[in-house]
Amino acid sequence: MLQGSANDPCLPKQYRVKKVNEIWGRHANLSKMTPKERGTTLGKFRSEYIVYGDFLCEEPYILATSAYWVPLSKLTKNVTRATALDEIEIFEANMAELRANEFDELSSSENEDEDDE
């Protein structure tokens, strides 16, 4: 998939984040890794986040609300470290709660399966 195509979820190089409305995350971009790289230990830990917000492109001028995978380095450069950190902390708190709820649901269904035996 070519970066910038209609189906590419990665932020085009000419865009920059103008405003963050919501954020989701991941720690490695597997789509950009070769099979050999995916089969070995990651050398560097890289964080990327899906940023839903306003994106600005200077040439041609476009201001669009959308969602793209944005590396942490570009996010902090575009909206400041403090703003990025605030949004990431909200995301991580939400993820912790969702994960705990999912574990509870899994435990409940495992207990039901054991009771059926």
- Per residue in 34-48, pLDDT (tens digit) is 777 766 665 666 788
H helices of 8-71, in order, are: 35-38
- Per residue in 53-88, pLDDT (tens digit) is 999 988 788 888 988 888 888 899 999 999 999 999
Other C-beta atoms lying within 10 Å of the C-beta of residue 23: 22
Contacts within 8 Å (CB) and 24+ apart, 86-95: 87/20, 87/22, 87/23, 88/23, 88/25, 88/49, 90/23, 91/22, 91/23, 91/24, 91/25, 91/49, 92/25, 95/25
Give yes or no for residue 27 having a pLDDT over 70.
Answer: no
Give yes or no for residue 2 having a pLDDT over 50.
Answer: no
**Element housing 15 (H / E):** strand 15-26
pLDDT band at 1 (very low <50, low <70, confident <90, very high): very low
Give the residue with greater pLDDT, 1 vs 20.
20
